[in-house]
Chain A
Amino acid sequence: MFPRMSNRLGTALLLLCAVCAPRLRAEAASSPVVRYHFGDDPDGKLGWADPDFDDIAWPVAQQGRWLEPPFYSDGFVWVRVQVPVRRDAAGPLAVQISNQSAFLIAEELFVNGVPVGRQGSLPPQAAPVAYARSAVFDLPPGAAGKGTTAAVALRAWYPPGVRSRAGATAVFAVDESRNLHLELRANHFAALIGDGPNLALNAIIFLLGAGLILFWRWAGGRDLLVCSWMLMAASLMPLWGASVSLGLVAVSLWTYSLVYVGLQALSMAATVELVWAVHNLRALGLKRLYHASWVIGNSTFLILSLGVKPSPIVFWSHQAMMPALLCFDSIQIAVNLWALIARRANGLVAAAMIVIPVTDLLQNYGNLRGVHIGPFYETYFGLSLFLCEFALFAMLGQRAWKAWRARDELRVEFDAAREVQEQLVAPAMDVPGFRIESVYAPAKQVGGDFFRVLPGSDGSVLVVVGDVSGKGLKAAMTVSAIVGALRGCNLRGPREVLEYLNRVLYGQVSGFVTCSATLIAGDGEMTHANAGNPAPYRNGEEMPVGTGLPLGILQESRYAETHCQLGPGDRLTFVSDGIVEARNRTGELFGFDRTQAMSGAGAQALAQAAIDFGQDDDITVLTVTRWTDGGARQAPQAAPALVPA
C-alpha cells in the first residue's frame, strides 16, 4: 500500500509513525526470554543458531540485558530469543533487530538457523561498525512460518575496547516485511526528528564559531581565536557523531574514529588554551598536566576504538581513559572556581566554563541523562554545552568588541603621533652647497630615529643623526624632546652639540641615544663627533671616526672630534643601526659589509635593500653630497614610497 500512496500522504504517515512507532513497538514486544552465552559457534557445529537447540542452560538476560564478554576472551556472545510470528501476517516476512545503544559491534543474525543478515564484519576479518543501527532483513521463503515461533539467534562480536561494560539489549521482531521496513524508516525519521534540535543548535554554534573567526581577523585577540576553534570543534563533534549514527554519512570505523577523536582533541586543546588565555594564567605545570590529560584521554579512546585484540595496550588504555578525562574535567572545574574568586572580572566566563565539566561528570558518574520534550530529546550535557557556548560567544564577543574600539581609538592617537613626527623628522631638503637625500622608515607607526640638517649662515651645514634605543611611542617621545632641544641650540661644534644633548638627556631616558654630529664647512672641511652611531661612509668607504658612549648614560661624557676634507662631489652616507641589523627569516644580519657595499647607491636603494632583507628596527639613511657649484635650495628629493619586505 505504501508505494501507491501520494508523496504527501506518505510523508504524513511517516511522520505519524515517527512519533508513535517506538512506543507501539515497545508495547508490542512482550519481553520474551532472552538467553545468552559467551563463545562462538563459527561453523554451526554446536547448533547454536538451530531452532531445536536446547539453550536452557544458558544464562537468562535480566530485563533483556545480556552481559558483554570478558576483556580477555574471543569477544563473542550469542543471544537467543523465541519470537512469535503473527498468524495473520500477509506477504513475505522479515526480521527486525533494534539495537539499543550498540556502540562498536559486529553482528550476524539467524532465524531458525538460517543466516539472514549482518552489520560489520566479524573475526577473523574483524571490522565493527561505529553505531549498529536498527536493521530489517528479509527472510527467505520458508525460513519462518506464520503463527509459529521463530528462533532468532544473534551472533555478536565486541572489540576489546567495549567489553565488560554494563550490558547490551536489543529488540527482535518477525513480521510482515513491508510493515517492518515502514517502521524502520519511521524509526529513522523519529531519530532524525529527535535529534533535530541538537543538530540545529550545533549548527548554530558552528556558525557562531566561524563568525568569531571572521571577527578575530578584524579585531584580533588570542582568546577570541581559541574560543572560535573550541566552538567549531565542539559543535562539529556531535554533528559528526549524529550524522554517522543516523546513517546520513557512511564511513569506515577508521574514518569515523579519526575524525571524531581529532575534533574532540581540537576542542579540548582549545579549551585549555582558552582557559589560560581568558584568565591570564601562568601555572605552566598545571597547564601541561591539563594538556596531557586530553592527549591521554583521546589517544586511549582511539586505541579502544580501533583495537581488535585484547592486548595489554588496549587493557591499559581502558584503565587510563576515564581517569584522564576525569583529570581534565577536574582541572577545568578547579581553575575556573579559582578564577571565579580571584579574577572577578572573568566571573561569568568562569561560571560558564564550569558548567560543562560538571555535567560531564554527572553524566559519567551520576545518573544525569537527558530530557524528552515531545518527540525531541536532548542530554543535559548537550544542553549545558549549548548554554556555555552561547554564553562564551556573547561574553568574549562583547569583550573583543570593546577591545577593538579601544584599539581603534589608540590607532587614531598613533596616527596623530605619526603626523607630528612627520613634521619633526621631515624629509631633508637640499641646502646651498649640498645635495641632501633622506629616507626615514619607522619599524612601527612612529620611530625612534631622528636627523636634522641645519644650514649655517656661513655656508656650512650641521648634520645630526641619531637613534633612541627601543622603538615605538616611547622612543618617539624621546625623539620629540631631542628635536626640541636641537631647535633651541645655537651650538655648531659637533663635540659641543653631543655634550649638550647628553646633558639634556641624562636622567631623562631609560635606555640611551646613539648620535653623531657632523659639521661640513662651505670649503668642505668636515668635523665629526660620534656617540655610538654607525660611522658614516664616504664615497662607499667607512670613515675611521672616534667612538664614544651613547648619550644619556653618563652625566659627563666627553666626545672626540675627527677631521677630514671633503672634495667636490664627495658623498657622505649616514645610517642608523636599523640598516646593519636588518635580519632575514634565518636570523642573518644585513651587516656592515652589505651596508658598505651599497652605501654608494643612494639613500633610497640602501634603505629599500635593508627593508627587503628584513626590517627589524627603525631605518634612517641620510646622504650629503657636496655640490661643486653651490647650487640653490631645491625641493626635497621626490622619494618613492618604501615597500615593506
Chain B
Amino acid sequence: MQSETKARVDQLTSPVGHPVTVLRFEGDIASTSKDAVLGTYQSLPKETSKLVLLDFTKVDYINSSGIALVIQMLIEASNSGQKVYAFGLSPHFTKVFTMVGITKYAGLFAGQAEALGAL
C-alpha cells in the first residue's frame, strides 16, 4: 500500500529576487523515507539555501514516523537559520501539521505562489 518516497530539488527566485530552494516530495512519507527527506535536505548547501520551500503537492500520505522526519528536518533548519515554508498539503495533513506544532517552525500555504510571496 505504501509507495516509495521521491525527492527532487528545484531552484527558484522569490518575487523580491532571493534564491529559493524547493524540495519537492512525492509518494508516501514514512519511516523508510529518511534518505529521501532528511538525506535530500542535508545534501543542500546551508550557506546558499537560506530560503527553503517544501512541496507536498504530490504526497499522498504521511504517517507519524514521517512527521517525525519532517519535524527533525525543520528543527535542523531552524538551528541553521534557514527559513522554511511548506505548501501543497491536503486539509487533513495541514491540520495534523498544526496539531503537532510544526507551524512554529514552518509556515503552511496552499500553493507555491502563496509560499513564494510570503518569503
- Please report A residues at the B interface, Cβ cutoff 8 Å: 467, 469-470, 511-512, 514, 530, 532-535, 547-550, 553-554, 577, 580-581, 583, 587, 589, 591-592, 616-617
Question: B61 near A592 (CB under 8 angstroms)?
Answer: no
A511–B1 Cα gap in the complex (Å)?
22
Question: A549 near B71 (CB under 8 angstroms)?
Answer: yes
10 A-B pairs with C-beta separation under 8 A: A469-B64, A470-B65, A511-B31, A511-B65, A530-B99, A550-B100, A553-B72, A580-B96, A581-B63, A587-B61
- Residue from the set A512, A530, A583 with the largest chain B CB neighbour count within 10 Å: A512
Question: A577 near B64 (CB under 8 angstroms)?
Answer: yes
Question: A534 near B1 (CB under 8 angstroms)?
Answer: no
Question: A554 near B67 (CB under 8 angstroms)?
Answer: no
Contact among B65, B67, B95 with A592 in the assembled complex (CB-CB below 8 Å): B95
Q: From residue B34, how far is it (CB to closest CB) to chain A in Å?
A: 10
A577–B75 Cα gap in the complex (Å)?
22
Question: A547 near B100 (CB under 8 angstroms)?
Answer: yes
Question: Using Cβ atoms and an 8 Å threshold, which residues of chain A touch B103?
Answer: 547
A589–B65 Cα gap in the complex (Å)?
17
Question: A467 near B64 (CB under 8 angstroms)?
Answer: yes
Q: From residue A50, how far is it (CB to closest CB) to chain B in Å?
A: 74
Interface residue tally on B, bucketed by range: 20 to 34
Interface of B is mostly: helix
Given A511-B65, A532-B101, A549-B104, 19 other A-B contacts at CB below 8 A? A467-B64, A469-B67, A511-B68, A514-B64, A514-B100, A532-B100, A547-B99, A547-B101, A549-B71, A549-B101, A550-B68, A550-B71, A553-B75, A577-B96, A587-B61, A589-B92, A591-B92, A617-B63, A617-B64
Q: C-beta contact mask, B84-101 vs A, less than 8 Å → 1, else 0?
A: 000000001001101111
A160–B99 Cα gap in the complex (Å)?
72
Question: Using Cβ atoms and an 8 Å threshold, which residues of chain B touch A470?
Answer: 31, 64-65
Question: B1 near A532 (CB under 8 angstroms)?
Answer: no
A514–B65 Cα gap in the complex (Å)?
11
For the complex of A and B, the 9 pairs showing the least CB-CB separation, nearest first, are A532-B100, A469-B64, A511-B68, A549-B101, A469-B68, A547-B101, A512-B68, A469-B65, A548-B101
Question: Using Cβ atoms and an 8 Å threshold, which residues of chain B touch A616?
Answer: 1, 63
A470–B101 Cα gap in the complex (Å)?
19
Question: Using Cβ atoms and an 8 Å threshold, which residues of chain A touch B31?
Answer: 470, 511
A609–B29 Cα gap in the complex (Å)?
25
- Please report B residues at the A interface, Cβ cutoff 8 Å: 1, 31, 60-61, 63-65, 67-68, 71-72, 75, 92, 95-96, 98-101, 103-104
A392–B41 Cα gap in the complex (Å)?
46
Question: Using Cβ atoms and an 8 Å threshold, which residues of chain B touch A591?
Answer: 92
A375–B100 Cα gap in the complex (Å)?
80
Question: Using Cβ atoms and an 8 Å threshold, which residues of chain A touch B101?
Answer: 532, 547-550
Contact among A469, A533, A547, A554 with B98 in the assembled complex (CB-CB below 8 Å): A547
Question: Using Cβ atoms and an 8 Å threshold, which residues of chain A touch B95?
Answer: 592
Q: From residue A367, how far is it (CB to closest CB) to chain B in Å?
A: 50
Q: From residue B31, how far is it (CB to closest CB) to chain A in Å?
A: 6
Q: From residue A69, how far is it (CB to closest CB) to chain B in Å?
A: 54
The closest CB in chain B to the CB of A470 belongs to B65
Question: Using Cβ atoms and an 8 Å threshold, which residues of chain B touch A467?
Answer: 64
Q: From residue A574, how far is it (CB to closest CB) to chain B in Å?
A: 13
A532 touching B99 in the complex, CB below 8 Å, given contacts A583-B1, A592-B92: yes
Question: Using Cβ atoms and an 8 Å threshold, which residues of chain A touch B67?
Answer: 469
Question: Using Cβ atoms and an 8 Å threshold, which residues of chain B touch A512?
Answer: 64, 68, 71
A273–B37 Cα gap in the complex (Å)?
31
Question: Using Cβ atoms and an 8 Å threshold, which residues of chain A touch B75?
Answer: 553-554
Question: Using Cβ atoms and an 8 Å threshold, which residues of chain B touch A549?
Answer: 71, 100-101, 104
The closest CB in chain A to the CB of B105 belongs to A549
Q: From residue B64, how far is it (CB to closest CB) to chain A in Å?
A: 4
Question: Using Cβ atoms and an 8 Å threshold, which residues of chain B touch A514?
Answer: 64, 100
A580–B95 Cα gap in the complex (Å)?
11
Question: Using Cβ atoms and an 8 Å threshold, which residues of chain B touch A577?
Answer: 64, 96
The closest CB in chain B to the CB of A585 belongs to B1
Q: From residue A639, how far is it (CB to closest CB) to chain B in Å?
A: 25
Question: Using Cβ atoms and an 8 Å threshold, which residues of chain B touch A532?
Answer: 99-101
A325–B44 Cα gap in the complex (Å)?
47
Q: From residue B75, how far is it (CB to closest CB) to chain A in Å?
A: 7
Q: From residue B65, how far is it (CB to closest CB) to chain A in Å?
A: 5
Contact among B61, B71, B99, B104 with A583 in the assembled complex (CB-CB below 8 Å): B61
Question: Using Cβ atoms and an 8 Å threshold, which residues of chain A touch B92?
Answer: 580, 589, 591-592
Question: Using Cβ atoms and an 8 Å threshold, which residues of chain B touch A511?
Answer: 31, 64-65, 68
Q: From residue B90, how far is it (CB to closest CB) to chain A in Å?
A: 9
Question: Using Cβ atoms and an 8 Å threshold, which residues of chain B touch A547?
Answer: 98-101, 103
A476–B103 Cα gap in the complex (Å)?
29
